[in-house]
C-alpha cells in the first residue's frame, strides 16, 4: 500500500484560497522584503562576516523544524546523494551571496538600492538556463531582461 500524496504534490492544492505555489511565493516576498530591511539595520552594528554567522544561527530553529519532516529521508539513494550534493552547493553559493550582500550594506550601500539590485539575481538564472538547459525566451521575456538591466543601471546612478 502506497502513502497518500503530500498536499504540496497535488496539482490543485490550495492554501488560503490560492494555489499553494502562489501562497508560498507571496510569503517569500514578504519575508525576503523584511529580511532586506532588517539586514541594513543589522549591518550598521556588525561586520558582514559576523552578520553571516548570526544569519546562519538564525536558521537553526528552522532547521530543527524541517528536520522533523517525515519526507526528510525519502528518495532513491542515487538521486538522494546527488540532491545532497546540489543542496550543499546551493548553500555555499547562497552563503557567499549573503556575505557579498551584507558587505554591500556595510560598505555604505542604501538598502533601498542594494536590495532591489541584488534581487535581480534571476538574470543569472536566466542566462544559465539559456546556456546549459537550452531553454528559450520569447519577446516578452527578452524585453523583461532588457528592462531589468536598465533598472540596475538606473538604481546604481548617484
Instruction: Report, as an integer, the average pLDDT of 73-84.
Output: 76
For residue 117, count other CB atoms closer than 10 A to its CB: 17
pLDDT of amino acid 102: 92
User: Whole-angstrom Cα distance, residue 86 to residue 95?
Assistant: 14
pLDDT of amino acid 2: 46
pLDDT at 4 > cutoff 50: no
User: Whole-angstrom Cα distance, residue 55 to residue 50?
Assistant: 8
Say what the pTM is.
0.72
pLDDT of amino acid 10: 58
pLDDT at 8 > cutoff 60: no
Q: Is the dihedral of CA 110, 117, 60, 55 positive or negative?
A: negative
Amino acid at each position: 500500500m502506497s502513502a497518500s500524496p503530500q498536499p504540496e504534490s497535488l496539482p490543485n492544492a490550495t492554501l488560503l484560497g490560492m494555489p499553494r505555489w502562489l501562497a508560498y511565493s507571496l510569503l517569500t516576498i514578504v519575508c525576503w522584503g523584511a529580511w532586506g530591511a532588517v539586514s541594513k539595520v543589522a549591518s550598521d552594528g556588525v561586520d558582514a562576516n559576523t552578520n553571516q554567522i548570526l544569519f546562519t544561527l538564525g536558521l537553526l530553529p528552522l532547521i530543527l523544524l524541517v528536520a522533523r519532516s517525515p519526507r526528510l529521508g525519502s528518495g532513491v539513494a542515487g538521486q538522494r546523494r546527488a540532491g545532497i550534493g546540489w543542496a550543499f552547493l546551493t548553500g555555499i553559493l547562497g552563503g557567499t551571496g549573503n556575505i557579498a550582500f551584507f558587505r554591500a550594506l556595510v560598505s555604505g550601500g542604501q538598502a533601498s538600492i542594494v536590495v532591489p539590485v541584488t534581487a535581480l539575481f534571476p538574470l543569472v538564472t536566466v542566462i544559465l538556463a539559456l546556456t546549459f538547459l537550452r531553454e528559450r525566451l520569447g519577446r516578452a521575456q527578452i524585453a523583461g531582461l532588457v528592462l531589468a538591466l536598465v533598472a540596475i543601471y538606473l538604481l546604481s546612478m548617484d
